[in-house]
Amino acid sequence: MTAPDCDHGEKVAYPDGETAARALVECKISRALHNNTRRRARRAYECRHCHRWFLTSRPDLFATAS
């Protein structure tokens, strides 16, 4: 169930991080093999409100530069 202040619109929700990580790999493979420019997923994240997992094209805000 989604919290009242949690609106993800048309995004696909994943039940856990492992499932979301698999979907992320599949997106990246599809993009590379089929030149799929529509899906640009970069990482998975857990919503702090509904605790479901989603994919996003935004970079990780807390990643350290190397």
pLDDT digits (tens, 9 = 90+) for 18-58: 999 999 999 888 888 888 777 689 999 999 999 999 999 98
Q: From residue 41, how far is each of 2, 44, 64 by CA, in Å?
A: 22, 8, 19
Rounded-to-10 torsion of CA 28, 55, 13, 19: 50
Instruction: State pTM to two decimals.
Output: 0.75
Q: What is the pLDDT of residue 63?
A: 64
Angle at 36 between CA 25 and CA 43, to 5 degrees: 35
